[in-house]
Amino acid sequence: MSLDVFFKPRSVAIVGASRSEEKVGHVILRRMVEIGFEGKIYPINPNADEILGIKCYKSISDIPESVDLVVVAVRADATPAVIEEAADKGARGALVISGGFSEVGNWELERKLVEVARKRGIRVIGPNCLGIFDPKDKIDTLFLPERVIPRPGEGKIAVITQSGSLGSTVLTMMRKEGMGISKFVSYGNRADVDEGELLEYLMEDEDTQVIAAYIESVADGRKFMESMRRASRRKPVVVLKGGKTSSGDRAVRSHTGSMAGSSEIFHSAVKQSGGIVVSSLGEFLDSTQTLVSQPPMSGDRVAVITNGGGFGILAVDALESIGFRLNPPSERLERKLREILPPYYPVGNPTDLTGDSTPEQFLEVGSIFSESGEYDALFIIPLLGVPAMIPDRTLKALSELLKSSKIPIVAVAVPTTDEVDSILRELKRRGLPVFPTPERAAYSLLSLKKYGEALKGKS
């Protein structure tokens, strides 16, 4: 059965919609109203006539029409009965926010919940989750104290996460980085709908270009890897695994009631299936940002163009240490560069445009490297702290390079003043991944290399 019921319901009942503003069910109702859900919303509360000006029902059975989706925010032991009632009203999906299941050892209740749901034909996301944020279909069940939502409507990144708190923090960080979301699913204990199914659903989602998954364990390894193989042929899937160490494994057991398993086996299976494994939260975000804006690399040769000698050296160190080739330009290419550059500019890899650099030189030199056929990516370091790197001219020149380059580009630039900061943000918005350190940019470029290899079946 398609997971559409979770993303495209015509009506939603919120069970446990509290009158108290600080309670979970109340916040969920408010979020659904604020995001502008276009279908019908039915708050369910035995003690209220209306909440937020919306008519309340004492139970799901009292709703006069049928209901597609229920969001469940009542005590764990009340959830099986809610599922039964929801099924009687024709519901096909339940987002069970409530905690108190396998994550605290209450396996019996979780089994009962799933048993009832399966018997009655209802799919369950959760329990012990935040649910869904989908700015296009206007679903928001995240009971977060303030809106952490990245630029509604503009996002191309789908995030799926076993951990709600990690997921919501990722959302906040993405918003800060100016990254947009297509869909967000916190699926908690994944008693029913699992990560594999979510991958399959998102691979078909036209609004999603990159899938970023935080995973602690998988329900069914073989099935998950099959889904990963199919999904990663269509779009990049970035995977961050929690629970790599024995302490992490113990923590996973008490978080979502699951076992982390061997991370080496998991990582190599994900790689073989075409997924992009990352090893830290920072790399997770940086890689996602780069994959959503740049094409995959078709090889491993990188050209570094800088206007800061030290930055150039750190860049080539960082790149070479993670497997990139930093070939010097051929004699023919060097001659071409020499024709347009002053004699005191060091030409090589890195090529240093020095403190005299202009934005137009970055464009010209970047274009020559890009068209040379000798490299698979450009790594540019246009530091704006030198006199001729005028911010608005830099924006214009780098935007042009971005448009015309035949190979992917990542950039390193340090936000210094508010003006520089806003130029860098605009560059990111236009699709240039910009990072403040060479190491971060290098790791983000690695995701383009990994994806290129995965597409060629070389991983």
Ligand X SMILES: CC(=O)SCCNC(=O)CCNC(=O)[C@H](O)C(C)(C)COP(=O)(O)OP(=O)(O)OC[C@H]1O[C@@H](n2cnc3c(N)ncnc32)[C@H](O)[C@@H]1OP(=O)(O)O
**Number of amino acids touching ligand X (CB under 6 A):** 29
Note whether 55 binds ligand X by CB under 6 A. no
What does the block give as tokens for 22? 């600080």
Stretch of 158-166, 227-235, 326-334, 391-399 contacting ligand X, by CB under 6 A: 158-166
Note whether 1 binds ligand X by CB under 6 A. no
Note whether 258 binds ligand X by CB under 6 A. no
Q: How far is the CB of 253 from ligand X (least distance, A)?
A: 15
Site string for ligand X, 183-222 (x = CB under 6 A): ---x-x----------------------------------
| Candidate list 47, 146, 206, 343; residue touching ligand X; CB under 6 A | 47
**Ramachandran assignment for 354, one of left (phi > 0), alpha (psi -120 to 50 degrees), beta (any other):** left
- Letter string b/e over residues 380-395, b meaning 16 or more CB atoms within 10 A of that residue's CB: bbbbbeeeebebeebb
Note whether 29 binds ligand X by CB under 6 A. no
Please, which residue, 98 or 293, has the CB nearer to ligand X? 98
Interface positions, 116-145, toward ligand X (CB under 6 A): 128-130
Q: How far is the CB of 41 from ligand X (least distance, A)?
A: 14
Please, which residue, 22 or 418, has the CB nearer to ligand X? 22
Stretch of 67-75, 192-200, 397-405, 442-450 contacting ligand X, by CB under 6 A: 67-75
Please, which residue, 11 or 128, has the CB nearer to ligand X? 128
Q: Using alpha carbons, select from 304, 421, 404, 329 the residue that is nearest to residue 363.
A: 404
Note whether 162 binds ligand X by CB under 6 A. no
Site string for ligand X, 90-119 (x = CB under 6 A): -------xxxx-------------------
Please, which residue, 45 or 293, has the CB nearer to ligand X? 45
Stretch of 28-36, 112-120, 157-165, 331-339 contacting ligand X, by CB under 6 A: 157-165
Q: How far is the CB of 97 from ligand X (least distance, A)?
A: 5
Whether residue 152 contacts residue 135, with contact meaning beta carbons closer than 8 Å, is answered with yes
Q: Which residues bind ligand X (CB under 6 A)?
A: 15-16, 18-20, 23-25, 44-48, 73-75, 78, 97-100, 128-130, 163-165, 186, 188
